[in-house]
A and B are shown apart, each in its own frame.
Chain A
Amino acid sequence: MSETVLSIKGLVKSYGAVPILRGIDLDVSRGEVVSIIGSSGSGKTTLLRCINLLEEYQDGHIEVAGETIGYSGDGRQRKPLTERTRARQRALTGMAFQQFNLFPHMTAQANIMLGLVKVRGMARAEAEKIAADWLDRVGLSHRRDHYPKQLSGGQQQRVAIARAIAMSPQLMLFDEITSALDPELVAEVLEVVRELAGDGMTMLLVTHEMRFAHDVSNRIIFMDQGRIAEQGPPKSLFRKPGTERLTAFLKNSSF
């Protein structure tokens, strides 16, 4: 049995009176690639953001690499941890965003180095070497000194992925990373993710790229109205959906 990297139990989240997540249970093992699919508003993105503590949630437990994230205590004793602790915990997971969110005032290399130097406490020379290695791996060595505005969307997203991975997180979260890209730039970004999956990186992806999810994932999770409605290996799930909702969703998705 392989080691559990992510363990979520009874995750509940609402915006005021509007429920977003209605009790999510999910375990992800080391090296596993899990894709979350579902229509918009089903809570996929919110789930990822809770794991990285970018959202508060009202109930439930999230553990990353055995450490309880974000809160201490239970029930009435439940308290948010200090921002300092939470900052350290956020670095356990890496995240790539739909809008890339590169630091606009820094070069590609400096984007990758910032976390290494300021969070990991690395010497500049060492961080520079790691940044160069990762830029090389995402095929952007020649763009090292370019600022985000000078890069295409696909290039920006590859830098953003390198920035997250360079921190050597336990788990990578990808939040619709190709949704903001022009169609012809999607492939180069997915190729990077495919390689990372091949290297054994543990990943949780929210995606609308069904073909990609099918090819790269060990497991697909279908979310509907704040719950995990169905999950399983991609082949069986796509071929024989067990619920009407998933059948309808797949029919409306482009492959």
Chain B
Amino acid sequence: MPPEAEVGDHWNRIMGYTFNFTPVWQSLPDLLRGLGLGLGLALASLAVGMALGLAVAFGMVSRQGGLRRLASGYVTFLRNIPLLLLIYFAFLGLPQLGIRLDKYTAFAGSLTLYGAAYMAEIFRGGLQAVPHGVVEAGRAIGLRPLQIKLYLILPILFRTTRPALGNAYISLFKDTSLAAAIAVPELTFQARKLNLETFRIVETWLVTSLLYVLTAVAIANLLRYLDWRANRREGRTAP
């Protein structure tokens, strides 16, 4: 006899809720599969979003007014609409305009465009922080503009923005939970399914939350370690 029926009977019985994690542990493989999918979607969005964000950032600091306005407009627009709305538009709105995307593409596309806007802001700050003297030194030895971008600006940019990009990746990873809204079977979707099947709601959300937190902390620590190692190598902090 499952205890669920008795739970709502008395107030003190709710406080005396008996935990039963067994159904959640049994579905752990599903949850982990969902977690993996979320990480993958976030990684894909990060990769493509970084390239797009970089292009937008160069647009934002461009000397051409038109390009600058276009880039700034993109960032302003995408940073100010809720991601969920963007996802619904891509999955439900676009088909009405004759563009049919499967749910994975619709979600990854939305997250990419959204992440690109955030990363464009990060990169813009990074571009402005590249010392002007370093660029001049590059020009002085005869490097062409493209070479200066490739060998000086980009490597310096990725070093200074690496911590912020790491945080952006963690944010994107958490945002993958919104994919549940269009039935992409990532972690949140799997957890909701588990709720409906077992009614172990508290246990499910506890375990799911824990998975999100542990993953985010693991990513953060990995990034911190990589940063520490690079800093030590290049003498930016005391060894």
Contact = CB atoms under 8 A, between A and B. Distances in A.
Nearest to B148: A87
B151 to A, nearest CB: 6
A114 B235 contact: no
B142 A103 contact: no
Interface string B153-189: 0011001000000000000000000000000000000
B229 interface: no
B235 A101 contact: no
Main DSSP-derived SS at the B contact region:
helix
A31 B147 CA distance: 32
Interface stretch (B31-39, B97-105, B130-138, B202-210): B130-138
A173 to B, nearest CB: 8
A167 B155 contact: no
B141 interface: yes
A62 interface: no
Which of A84, A101, A102 has the most chain B CB atoms closer than 10 A to its own CB?
Answer: A101
A94 interface: yes
Contacts, number: 80
Given A103-B152, A105-B155, A150 B137 contact: no
A54 interface: yes
A115 interface: yes
A149 B133 CA distance: 15
A90 B142 CA distance: 5
Interface in A1-23: none
Contacts of A163: 137, 141
A115 B148 CA distance: 11
Contacts of B140: 52, 54, 90, 93-95, 97, 164
Interface string A207-241: 00000000000000000000000000000000000
B141 A105 contact: no
Interface of A: 52-54, 83-84, 87-88, 90-91, 93-95, 97, 99, 101-105, 114-115, 118-119, 146-147, 149-150, 160, 163-164, 167
